[in-house]
Structure 1
Amino acid sequence: MAYYEGYTQQKIAEQLDVPLGTVKTRTRAAFIQLQQLLKEYR
């Protein structure tokens, strides 16, 4: 949502009805997972 729709993390939290910290944690976890998946292509 943040990257495709341009939403702030606060707006995402409101839309999903979850705490802001949850959005931040999930975003960070997704980036780490993506980084690990892309390591083999470096």
Structure 2
Amino acid sequence: MPASLQIKVWSVLVYVIVATVIAIWLHEGMSPSALLLAAGAFG
């Protein structure tokens, strides 16, 4: 896989994960438990 393509793939993955975590965080009213769940899901 070309390095440039790999960078694009990782950029998209990171963006999706961050967006999901933020969405969960806001949906749960910014509770610490939501962050722990998100961290556990992606960790």
TM-score for the superposition, normalised by structure 2: 0.51
For residue 5 of structure 1, what is the aligned residue in structure 2?
A: none
Structure 2 gaps, min length 5:
31-43
2:17 alignment counterpart: 34
- Segments of 4+ in structure 1 off by > 6 A? none
Provide the residue aligned with 2:36 in structure 1. none
Unaligned stretches of 5+ residues in structure 1:
1-17
Higher Rg of the two aligned structures: 2
Aligned residues: 25
- Distance in 1 between the 2:19 and 2:10 partners? 14
The structure that is helix-richer by fraction is: 2
Work out the percentage of aligned pairs sharing the same amino acid: 4
